[in-house]
Amino acid sequence: MSTRTGILIDPRFREHDPGRDHPERPDRIAVLEDLVHDWRGPALERIAPRLATAEEVCSAHTPELLARIRETEGELHARIDADTATSERSYEVALLAAGGLLEVTDAVACGAVDNAFAFVRPPGHHATAERAMGFCLFNNVAIAARHLRRRGCERVAIVDFDLHHGNGTEAIFYDDPSVLYVSTHQYPYYPGTGAATDVGRGEGEGFTVNVPFSAGVGDAAYLLAFDEVIDPVLRQFAPDFVLVSAGFDCHRRDPLGGMRVSEDGFIGMMRRLLEVARDVSGGRLAAVLEGGYDLDAIRSSAEASLGQMVRAGDARSVEPNEHDGEAIEPLKHILRPYWHL
pLDDT band at 316 (very low <50, low <70, confident <90, very high): low
Task: Give the separation between CA 335 and CA 202, rounded to whole angstroms.
Answer: 15
Q: Three-state SS for 41?
A: coil
Position 325 scores a pLDDT of 65
* Percentage of residues of the chain with pLDDT beyond 90: 94
Of 61, 125, 126, 164, catalytic: 126
Reported as a single tens digit per residue, the pLDDT across 148-199 is 999 999 999 999 999 999 999 999 999 999 999 999 999 999 999 999 999 9
Position 312 scores a pLDDT of 72
Average pLDDT, rounded, for the chain: 96
Task: Give the separation between CA 220 and CA 325, rounded to whole angstroms.
Answer: 10
Position 13 scores a pLDDT of 98
Position 317 scores a pLDDT of 52
Between 298 and 322, the higher pLDDT residue? 298
Reported as a single tens digit per residue, the pLDDT across 113-154 is 999 999 999 999 999 999 999 999 999 999 999 999 999 999
- Cβ neighbors of 190 (< 8 A, separation 6 or more) are 134, 164
- Is residue 126 within 8 A of residue 166, CB to CB? The reply is yes
Known catalytic residue: 22?
Answer: no
Hey, CA dihedral for 4, 227, 332, 236, is it positive or negative? positive
| Residue 282 pLDDT > 80 | yes
| Residue 1 pLDDT > 80 | no
* CATH superfamily, domain at 5-335: Histone deacetylase domain (3.40.800.20)
Domain boundaries, the chain: 5-335
pLDDT band at 319 (very low <50, low <70, confident <90, very high): low
